[in-house]
Structure 1
Amino acid sequence: MGWFEALVLGLVQGLTEFLPISSSAHLRITAALAGWDDPGAAFTAVIQIGTELAVILYFGEKIGRIIRAWFRSLYSRKYRHDPDARLGWLVIIGSIPIVVFGLLFQDDIHHTFRDLRITATVLIVFGVVLAIADRVGAQTRDLDHLTVPHGLGYGFAQALALIPGVSRSGGTVSAGLLLGYRRAEATEYAFLLAVPAVFGSGLYELTKIGEGTGPRWGPTILATLVSFGVGYAVIAWLMNFIKTRSYLPFVVYRIALGVLLFVLMATGALDPAAGPQF
């Protein structure tokens, strides 16, 4: 992987990580259309650390409160009912599904799930799911209503994002909307829930950077830094956008992209397995 390729993929990661359109799918599609090697699941996981650092910066005050209250709840009974401490526990509980499924389906994540036919299918299917959730969700709950079953529901939805095309934010936001949470609250919890999952996955995959034919350290670091800067701007824009607008534009985009991929593959313009797998 060269420097220009890393720059482009970092931009793509930053632009798409927080939108419900799947950053992993866009990294995979961008590389395939450009004729580049598939950047691989390890590269994708590592540069996502950059976008999660943007989450920590944007929600820094809230995350700080959650961490402090959570630690205090370990030894002080009065903090066990603190809303921030409770949210900290629910982020941990909601992270369990993606850890379990990530370990169980390691080979599929690196190979089978990266087939562009699967990516196109889930882009369309989960675009429809997001449209339904945005349409029928009651949108009356805030994060104070979050329960353990709801946290696990969010968590299972996040685990589906191990398949490129589902979208971590799209899956978790859809779950939140179907559970009756407001758009802003569903999106905020989705971002918070992603932090331990992404850092865990990224750190786990770090050992694969620079190995064999995999991406080198220099371009990977560049892509991570670019994704951080662009990702921060996208978070700020999205949190304002959803206060007054629905997710419909993203639904239309997902379905159109999925259909375009099928057309390109059907005409032979795009190989479903384009690029060697790492």
Structure 2
Amino acid sequence: MDIILQALVLAIIQGLTEFLPVSSSAHLILPSQVLGWPDQGQAFDVAVHLGTLMAVVTYFNHDIRRMLGGMVTGVQTRSMNQDLNLAFAVIIGTIPAVIFGGLFSDFIEMNMRTSFVIACTTVVFGLLLWASDKQGNGRLELDRMTLTIALVIGLAQAIALIPGTSRSGITMTAALFLGFSRVASARFSMLLSIPIIVAAGTLETAKLAVSGQEVPWNLMVLGILASSISAFLCIHVFLSLLERIGMTPFVVYRLLLGAALFMFVGLN
């Protein structure tokens, strides 16, 4: 397959899976292992991260402005407000992933980016997502988010360093178990993604800068555009349909994907 077409497919996959509970890392690793596609390189990783960041920031620009405004008001009045509380919750929820990522990312990169690990985590965390959804669509909304709850969700997010877990899936699972509604769980998961994507993109950019690699600007532009458009559409459709469809379709998909991966591992 032509490298441009491969890049387009991978960028769309990144955009579609970044915010769904199905693991974007699994879907980006698998084409190379199952189809034999070449790695698109660090520049392309930077591009698709930038694309998904643009999508989520654009979609949640109102929430972001409110959190920033809440920070300013909080400093001026020296008091807590709802928007400042949500901003702190996002910060607190990000810290565990940053710490564990710094400690274990190299180990995970070298030992856990395999089809077998992805198959196991795809099934196990898919079943956990099903259990959290079936316990009942909670009633709590984001105005009930506390820093303690955010830390618990952040600890769950750190588990997503293991490929196949799904960062969005595990954070939604934790929020659902803690009594939040499906939409509130999804929205907080997506807000949590912003600093994580910024951190990942900054790290990849730093690696690219010191590597001295030639930057394929055509692939980067393609990656940014395709991932941002597909991610924005995915966020909109997902949040619009979530209350009606619940998590079951994504659980079924994960189980089917996991079964297919186990078959692939068994044949190799």
Match of 1:184, SS state, is helix
- Residue aligning to 1:19: 20
> In 2, distance between residues paired with 1:45 and 1:260?
29
Match of 1:88, SS state, is helix
- Return closer, same or farther for 1:101/1:214 CA change in 2, 3 Å cut-off: farther
Match of 2:232, SS state, is helix
Shift of 1:8: 1.3
> In 2, distance between residues paired with 1:247 and 1:153?
21
Moved more, 35-44 or 23-32: 35-44
Contact 1:47 1:221 in 2 (8 A): no
- Residue aligning to 1:49: 50
Where does the alignment leave 5 or more consecutive residues of structure 2 unmatched?
none
- Residue aligning to 2:59: 58
Match of 1:164, SS state, is coil
- Residue aligning to 1:150: 149
> In 2, distance between residues paired with 1:191 and 1:104?
24
> In 2, distance between residues paired with 1:164 and 1:213?
26
- Residue aligning to 2:225: 225
- Return closer, same or farther for 1:244/1:13 CA change in 2, 3 Å cut-off: same
> In 1, distance between residues paired with 2:214 and 2:28?
15
CA RMSD of aligned residues (A): 2.2
For residues 6-155 of structure 1, the aligned pairs below 5 Å read 6-39=7-40, 44=45, 47-77=48-78, 80-137=79-136, 139-155=138-154
- Tell me the amino acid that sits aligned with residue 77 of structure 2: S
- Return closer, same or farther for 1:46/1:101 CA change in 2, 3 Å cut-off: farther
> In 2, distance between residues paired with 1:97 and 1:215?
32
TM (norm. structure 1) is 0.88
Match of 1:163, SS state, is coil
- Return closer, same or farther for 1:109/1:49 CA change in 2, 3 Å cut-off: farther
Matched, 1:254 2:254: yes
For residues 168-247 of structure 1, the aligned pairs below 5 Å read 168-209=167-208, 211=211, 216=216, 218-247=218-247
> In 2, distance between residues paired with 1:91 and 1:188?
11
Contact 1:134 1:177 in 2 (8 A): yes
Contact 1:90 1:148 in 2 (8 A): yes
- Tell me the amino acid that sits aligned with residue 18 of structure 2: E
> In 2, distance between residues paired with 1:205 and 1:263?
33
- Return closer, same or farther for 1:147/1:243 CA change in 2, 3 Å cut-off: same
- Return closer, same or farther for 1:101/1:94 CA change in 2, 3 Å cut-off: same
> In 2, distance between residues paired with 1:203 and 1:133?
33
- Return closer, same or farther for 1:213/1:124 CA change in 2, 3 Å cut-off: farther
Shift of 1:38: 4.2
> In 2, distance between residues paired with 1:43 and 1:222?
9
- Return closer, same or farther for 1:121/1:21 CA change in 2, 3 Å cut-off: same
Kindly, what percent of the aligned residue pairs are identical? 38
Contact 1:137 1:181 in 2 (8 A): no
